[in-house]
Structure 1
Amino acid sequence: MAQDPQFESRKLLGRLRDTLAEDSAGQERLDRITHLIASSMGTEVCSIYLFRDEETLELCATEGLKPEAVHQTRLRIGEGLVGRVAKTSRTVNTPDAPSEQGFRYMPETGEEIYSSFSGVPIQRLGENLGVLVVQSKEARNFSADEIYALEVVAMVLAEMTELGAFIGDNDAMQARHRQSVLIRGACAQEGAAEGRVWLHEPRVVVTNPIADDPDIELKRLHDAVDQLRVGVDKMLDGAAGGDKEQLQVLEAYRMFANSKGWMRRMEQDIAQGLSAEASVEKEQNTARTRMEQVTDQYLRERLHDLDDLSNRLLRILTGQGSQTGAEMPPDPILIARNIGPAELLEYGRGLKGIVLEEGSVGSHATIVARALAIPLVIHSDRITTEALNGDHIMVDGDQGVVHLRPDESVVTAFRDKIAMQAQAQQRYASIRDKTATTLDGITISLQMNAGLMADLPSLENSGAEGVGLFRTELQFLVRNQMPKRSELSALYSRVMDAAQGKRVVFRTLDIGSDKVLPYMTPEDEPNPALGWRAIRVGLDKPGVMRMQLQALLRGANGRPLAVMFPFVAQYEEYTRAAEELEKAKERERILGHPLPERIEIGAMLETPSLGFAPQKFFEEVGFLSIGGNDLKQFFFAADRENERVRRRYDTLNISFLSFLEGIVNRCNTTKTPLSFCGEDAGRPIEALCLAAMGLRTLSMRPASIGPVKSLIRRTNLTQLRQIIVDSRERGDQSVRPAVMEFLRKNGG
């Protein structure tokens, strides 16, 4: 290749394309490719190792090593030089392989006579598929041109592996996207669903990695880049005069789109024989590999910009993406890296389930998924690279597990679970109109959480007695600009109309932490959950709070109104917020608008500090709702987004239950209405124990009301209370074991 590297590279790729085009079985194709590469590069050995599973590489084809080692030699990731390439995604090039640190001798291959070693990763968009290796007896470093040629060939092999070009009879040779995959994530919304994959951002498939005419490919690339730059300029024009920080991000985006280095590297790839699409993807591979290795957040964001630009460019070149006209399956399970609330609302209730690679238990998408009662699994590593549109998929939101292309045994077990849940729902429907009264005559009020108009039909269908929490932030989060007061008052009026006289508790805007409005500059805080959020934002910038309170007063249109302020940590915050409501009420009176016949002003108790507020607070506040999700994380100092610690602390911990009991006693003394709102209220065992500690109102997602009511109606609460007291006196850390034993003995 020394004479004209580009010509030799194109010649090698041309021969490779011819080999791939031949009508032959997968293994035969691989064998021909290793022979072709070895002869073209003048090496005695060429080998292809592909991943058998996430941790194991298998020798799948070789020219020069012992044929009997094929499909027998296996390496763990990180093991030997081949394993090092797979683990680091970096090329290893050495004239003396045995002297390299980590070298592993595999006698069954007969490779001991070869000194030189060069291995490059076979990868696609950051996903490692295997390793391509050449070896020779002569002790020499392979040249930069030779390494580059190997990288180009590895890129083509990755594309062909993706397209299933090497499917064979051997189980290790099965196409990646035809195997069953179990992915463990985290539960963000319970429920089980079966359906077909619908990718929010379909992956672009490069079907023509090798090109005939570099000039044609260069023109295609230049035309596509010109189109890309025009699009970026339009984005900048549209953002002109807007948020300064957003403009800075878009400027950096445009800088990448005009990067001469990026363009030059793609042109070089085309000169070596790649198509325009393949050249873009080759550079995208490099960017993604770097992104995995850098820890600097700013650099990672910039590399992410380059990754996004590459995706846009690939869609321009291939015509693939959202404009392909692909038809959504009738039972779609949405797959995405992440998704915004507005995009998710556009899909609506038609989705059977959602699986996200990122996400969080308190994210906007999670809030919407809960409102729509759609099972959601988050932190599902690799799902966007493993799944293809139309794949059979089963989502277990209860366990945080995803079964992609499941085998028959999994399908049978999963369908049995869904059938059992359906039978249970039928049982719950039979008690929908009955009260949640225990065997010893104590009645618990079960209410539902909501956040969308679409939730309100569940008020009647679930048997809920009212809306214990209506989240008002969703109407702010799904827009690109602040909603108008008239729009909000009309919405609040429709909510009350739909409730048909049942009580609705409107929680004022709860933003900050993980809920940042798209039209507000996010604050750079080291710990947003403990930062400037909810009532703190409302009191510091009262304009939005006043506008929302006016909208609530007008939406009530004379009807009773219940307003609750979120994240109140001390008495003074409540009094200031209540004063704002009084001012809004006075303004409405002056304007001649009808005032609610009765106004309840409440607070959410989400911080331990409010449990120790002065007695005067408990006497003044209209009602209290314990926000269990936040309260628990602050009580135990365990971030609920952190999987390593959040499951370590039990709601049925004696300390936590005793703290809740103290709040119940204070409210009983002042006759302050008290409820519990949060995920734990919708878990039957936890709900039962909360009732045993004296809580008489629980608010939960609609689907949980049936299971909770069913268990309450079968339990003697006085006896359960004694079980908890006995457990506390014994010094148990959690009452859960004792409660479970009690329910087992009593048929609960």
Structure 2
Amino acid sequence: MRILNGTGVFGGIAFGRLSFYKRNEQKIRRYHVEDTRAELRRFEKAKQTAATQLETLYEKALKEVGETQAMIFQIHQMMLEDPDYCESVQNIINTQQVNAEFAVGTTEDNFRQMFSAMEDSYMRARAADVKDVSDRVLGILADTDSAAQTYDEPVIVAADDLAPSETVQLDKNKVLAFVTMFGSQNSHTAILSRTRNIPTIIGLGDDLKEEYDGKMAIVDGFAGRLYIEPDEDTFAAMKQKQKREEEQHALLLQLKGLENVTLDGRKIHVYANIGNTGDVGAVLQNDADGIGLFRSEFLYLESKDYPTEKEQFKAYKTVAENMAGKKVVIRTLDIGADKQIGYFGLPREENPAMGYRAIRICLDRPKVFKTQLRALYRASAYGNLAIMFPMIVSVQEVRRIKTLVEEVKTELRKEGIPFWDGVELGIMIETPAAAVMSDVLAGEVDFFSIGTNDLTQYTLAIDRQNRKLDSFYDPHHPAVLRLIRYVVESAHKAGIWVGVCGELGADLSLTETFLAMGIDELSVSPSYVLPLRKKIRETDVGKALERDAAEG
């Protein structure tokens, strides 16, 4: 028996045979061409075919894993149309009079080297995307089979790493687990595997050898451990662990319909995060109290032009009606950084994570912003809607937002269009500036929602997408928790409620800490609602506070 240790990115136990992912390796040959125009046409045709394939992948991912995780395929579509990328291919064909395959391969190498050498970690991560896109175009030019690998039986898929397109194309009914040599906990593929509930281990390194192909194995996604040709004792122990996991899941289902209340009577709301209207079923199925984060940008990402007020109104109205009076907190447009939309014409930036994004775009383009606000207020007549605004850093921004809101309400009144005047307005606390100024900001809004993902990376100055920094990225860092505590105190002094909608909300090791801080609401992925409810119902906040006081 061999035991390999890596990092588990989604828990679960899986038994089966290892099957190494087989790719059609592209052997690029350089040859002279006389008709460069014909070669340019071949490249353009391959691009169009690739774009069609990526659109199909986007639609598939949208249904299976939601809008947020599906966005990578829209990013890949935009990379296909990147002027610098296309001009490089075209220039090589024209000046060197060579075949399109060689031009694409050379451009891929050049761009990967360029991205890999950049200081900005977000841009470095784009090197893998350039390879994924280029390999797709090369496969089309070579007329090789680009269909997803198929399996006769469910297997544990092994690979050096998997591109998002490879992960999504696989038949999930034939995938028991993923194990890879490389990868990051915050990579697109890791996020996709978590969303699809597939046990996954990354970072196994060179110990994961192709010679293990076809051998029986056990994946322990909880411990990040891969057992190859396990002995009888290990097999029995893992079967018992799997049984306990299944029993635990059955117990969770018994929590449906119960309150989120601690042993000492403290009640807290448990809401769900969603990426599109299709996720509402999962919210209801998992018995969430409401929706704490509805990412409205999916409407823009799915559209080829700015979505109209009518289109947005229909989507918001549908969610509000389906939630039947339960609170629905909708975040206004949050694009920029890795969420690029072609028709917005956003500039290329050196540091997009801290650039022209989210509320900055909305305030800079009030016509676009007011269209969304009108749709939101119109939908408020059909349910319990609340609106929150992302990436706030100052009181001035909030006041400008409130001025635009009042303009929208005045317009709707004049037009005789009904809306609910009691819509709560809140802001996301995801920048250190907002956290430090939360005592002042609390006087301007009805609630706070703490976005712990961005708050952590901005506070620690660490890009959570950069796998080289995984060992430094610490969401439990005392500085992060101090900021959260201060935000809660500021909110309660002003008489407003405060929630957490980032990934830390689902971190059960912090649930007791959040309850002791006085957090009023936790919003998590729908599948985490019941585990979080169980943890809350097992917690005694009073004893936790007494223990904290005793420890000083």
Q: TM-score range by the shorter chain?
A: 0.7 to 0.9
Which residue is equivalent to 2:519? 695
Name 1:738's counterpart in structure 2: none
Question: CA 1:393/1:262 → structure 2, altered by over 3 Å: closer, same or farther?
Answer: farther
Q: Name the SS for the 2:268 alignment partner.
A: strand
Offset of residue 316 of structure 1: 5.1
Distance 1:548 1:413, change over 3 A: farther
| Letter matched to residue 321 of structure 1 | S
Structure 1 partner of 2:538: 714
Listed as ranges, the gaps of 5+ residues in structure 2 are 52-77
CA change 1:644–1:304 in 2 (3 A) is closer
* Equivalent in 42, 61, 78 of residue 231 of structure 1: 42
SS in 1 for 2:339: coil
TM-score normalised to structure 2 length: 0.74
- Structure 1 unmatched runs, 5+: 1-178, 210-216, 267-279, 730-748
Does residue 358 of structure 2 align to residue 534 of structure 1? yes
Residue identity in the other structure for 2:252: Y
1:610 aligned to 431, 434, 458, which one? 434
Cα deviation for residue 517 of structure 1 reads 2.8
Residue of structure 2 in register with 1:640 after alignment = 464
Q: Secondary structure of 2:311's match?
A: helix
Show CA shifts across 1:487-510 (max 9, x none).
332222222233222111111122
Q: Give the superposition deviation at 1:284.
A: 6.5
SS in 1 for 2:523: strand
- Are the structure 2 counterparts of residues 577 and 432 from structure 1 closer, same or farther at C-alpha, using a change threshold of 3 Å? same
RMSD: 5.2
How many angstroms apart in 1 are the aligned matches of 2:297 and 2:307? Answer: 11
**What secondary structure, in the 3-state scheme, does the structure 2 residue paired with 1:434 have?**
coil
Q: Name the CA distance, whole Å, in 2 between partners of 1:303 and 1:676.
A: 32
The answer on 1:255 being equivalent to 2:80 is: no
Deviations 1:121-176 (A, max 9, x none): xxxxxxxxxxxxxxxxxxxxxxxxxxxxxxxxxxxxxxxxxxxxxxxxxxxxxxxx
Quick one: which amino acid aligns to residue 204 of structure 1?
N
Alignment match of 2:24 (pick from 179, 204, 226): 204
Aligned equivalents of 2:485 and 2:522: distance in 1? 15
Residues 373-452 of structure 1 mapped to structure 2, 5 A cutoff: 398=222, 406-409=228-231, 416-452=240-276
Contact 1:228 1:313 in 2 (8 A): no
Residue 725 of structure 1: CA displacement?
2.9
Say if 2:501 and 2:523, in contact at 8 Å, map to a contact too.
yes
Q: For residue 344 of structure 1, report the CA deviation from its aligned partner.
A: 4.8
Secondary structure of the corresponding residue to residue 424 of structure 2: strand
Task: Work out whether residues 504 and 561 of structure 1, in 8 Å CA contact, stay in contact via their aligned partners in 2.
Answer: yes
Which secondary structure state, in structure 1, belongs to the residue aligned with residue 370 of structure 2? helix
Match of 2:146 in 1: 321
1:662-701 maps to which residues of 2 (within 5 A)? 662-701=486-525
Which amino acid counterpart does residue 443 of structure 1 have in structure 2?
Answer: K
SS in 1 for 2:82: helix
Identity of aligned residues (%): 26
Deviation of the 1:689 alpha carbon: 1.0
Partner residue, 1:455: 279
Counterpart AA for 2:146: G
CA deviation profile, 1:520-541 (whole Å, cap 9, x unmatched) = 4554434333332221222122
- For the residue of structure 2 that corresponds to 1:428, the secondary structure is helix
Q: Distance in 1 between matches of 2:470 and 2:532?
A: 23
Note if contact 1:190-1:396 (Cα within 8 Å) is conserved in structure 2.
yes
- Residues 204, 315 of structure 1: 8 Å contact kept: no
Give the Cα–Cα distance (whole angstroms) in 2 for the partners of residues 520 and 291 of structure 1: 26
Distance in 2, Cα, partners of 1:380 & 1:224: 48
Is residue 568–residue 610 contact of structure 1 (8 Å, CA) maintained in 2?
yes
Contact 1:462 1:706 in 2 (8 A): yes
> How far off its partner does 1:397 sit?
5.5
Q: Which has the larger radius of gyration?
A: 1
With over 3 angstroms needed to count, the CA separation of the structure-2 counterparts of 1:665 and 1:477, relative to structure 1, is same
How far has the Cα of 1:253 moved from its partner?
A: 2.2
Match of 1:467 in 2: 291
Say whether residues 1:596 and 2:420 are aligned partners: yes
CA contact (8 A) 1:476 1:482 kept: yes
Change (3 A) 1:369 1:684: same
Moved more, 501-510 or 409-418: 409-418
Aligned CA distance change for structure 1 residues 236 and 469 (closer, same or farther; 3 Å)? closer
Which residue does the alignment assign to 2:73? Answer: none
Q: Relative to 1, partners in 2 of residues 1:638 and 1:326: Cα closer, same or farther, differing over 3 Å? A: closer
Q: What secondary structure is seen at the aligned counterpart in 2 of 1:674?
A: strand
2:184 and 2:89 map into 1 onto residues whose CA distance is: 26
**Distance change >3 Å, CA 552–CA 358, structure 1 → 2:** farther
Larger deviation: 471-480 or 298-307? Answer: 298-307
C-alpha distance in 2 between matches for 1:705 and 1:414: 26
Task: Write the deviation string for residues 442-483 of structure 1: whole angstroms up to 9, x where unpaired.
Answer: 122222211133422232332321111112223433555544
What SS does structure 2 have at the residue aligned with 1:564?
strand
Give yes or no for contact 1:605–1:625 (8 Å, CA) kept in 2. yes
1:240-639 matches, within 5 Å, as 246-257=82-93, 260=96, 312-313=137-138, 317=142, 319-322=144-147, 337-339=162-164, 344=168, 398=222, 406-409=228-231, 416-478=240-302, 481-521=305-345, 523-596=347-420, 598-613=422-437, 615=439, 617-639=441-463
Aligned partner letter, 1:338: A
Contact 1:329–1:390 (CA<8 Å) still a contact in 2?
A: no
* Counterpart AA for 1:231: R
Aligned counterpart, 2:66: none
**1:412 offset after TM fit, Å?**
6.3
Greater mean deviation of Cα atoms: 623-632 or 304-313: 304-313
Q: Which amino acid aligns with 2:229?
A: D
Deviation at 1:286, TM superposition (A): 13
Distance 1:422 1:183, change over 3 A: same
What is the number of residues matched between the two proteins? Answer: 517
Compared CA separation, residues 431 and 307, structure 1 to 2 (3 A): closer
Report the secondary structure of 1:590's partner residue: helix
State the distance in 2 between where 1:604 and 1:304 align.
Answer: 30
Shift of 1:623: 0.8
CA contact (8 A) 2:260 2:537 kept: yes
Q: 1:408 to 1:561 in 2, by over 3 A?
A: same
CA distance in 1, matches of 2:303, 2:202: 23
For the 8 Å contact 1:331–1:352, the answer to whether it is kept is: yes
Partner letter of residue 552 of structure 1?
L
**CA-CA distance at 1:721 after TM superposition:** 1.4
Moved more, 459-468 or 284-293: 284-293
